[in-house]
Structures are given as C-alpha cells and as structure tokens.
Amino acid sequence: MAINDLIQNVKDGDNVNATKEFEGIMADKMTAALDARKIEIASGMIQQRKVEEEPVEVELQPEVQEEE
C-alpha cells in the first residue's frame, strides 16, 4: 500500500522515495476528486436538460374587448 510505503520511507530516512510516494498519493487523490466532480456536474446537466424539455401548460384567457 502506498501510504505504508510512504511511512516506511520516512522512518528509513529515504526522503527521495518518500517524496515520490507522497506525490503519487496526492495525484491519485486529486484524480479521484476531479472524477467525482465531473460526475456531479454531468448529473446536474442531465437533470437541467430534463427540466428544460418538459412542456409547460399555459392557460390562455379570452381577450376582453372594451365596449365603446
């Protein structure tokens, strides 16, 4: 597991490999967060499109003509 490797590298004083592990962990977390946000945005767009496509019923009132 990457976190265990990171901790072990820090314990061993291997800062170069610890840095690589840390950067890899952060890249994975950023990718997961971006993917989740993309899904959230896409879901919102689909729901918005459904709302726009629903027909709106409008009841028209007959015009009232003024008597002269």
42: in domain: yes
67: in domain: no
Could you tell me the mean pLDDT of each successive run of 10 residues in the chain, 68 residues long? 92 95 96 95 78 65 63
32: in domain: yes
The pTM assigned to this predicted structure is: 0.60
Identity of the residue numbered 12: D
Q: Give the pLDDT score at 43.
A: 87
CB atoms within 10 A of CB 22: 16
9: in domain: yes
68: in domain: no
6 CB contacts (<8 Å, ≥6 apart)?
A: 18, 21, 22, 25
Could you tell me the residue range of the domain that residue 41 belongs to?
2-51
Domain count, the chain: 1
Burial class of 21 by CB neighbour count within 10 A (0 to 12, 13 to 18, 19+): buried
Distances (CA, A) of 32 to 22, 24, 38: 15, 12, 10
40: in domain: yes
60: in domain: no
